[in-house]
Amino acid sequence: MGGARNVFDEMPERSIVVWTAVISGYSQMGSHGEALELFVRMLATGNVSILLQACKLDLGRQVHSIAIKTNFESHIFVGSSLLDMYAKSNNILEARKVFDFLPKRDVVSCTAILSEYAQLGLDEEAL
């Protein structure tokens, strides 16, 4: 992993594929501390929103937990991605909690929550 990490550290920009490859490598080797350190660094770059778009609900909840612990939940991109992940999983209660927690709401977050209410036939809640 040393050589891979050196290449990783020298990269000016890293895609989600690169992040997850290196994190997975550390995890598979049992180097969970290094994997977690890189995951937290990935959160700081905003790449967590990309990760959430590909998550299933169980993994999304784990990412949400880490976002709370690292204080990224209120970040607009992370919060909107969490909201979208819960909405697509038809978990309107969690989606609403995330929406209510956002310190600043944008078109993406408002559209996501309104769309989910409409899909579930909860028209009055949408208003």
Residue 55 has pLDDT above 70, yes or no: no
Residue 71 has pLDDT above 80, yes or no: no
Q: What pLDDT, on the 0 to 100 scale, is given for residue 51?
A: 66
**Cα angle for residues 78, 15, 54 (degrees, 5° grid):** 50
Rounded distance between C-alpha atoms, residue 22 and residue 58, angstroms: 22
Total H helices, total E strands in the chain? 9, 0
How high does pLDDT run on average in the chain? 83
Residue 45 has pLDDT above 70, yes or no: yes
pTM assigned to the model: 0.62
Rounded distance between C-alpha atoms, residue 93 and residue 82, angstroms: 12
Q: What pLDDT, on the 0 to 100 scale, is given for residue 54?
A: 65
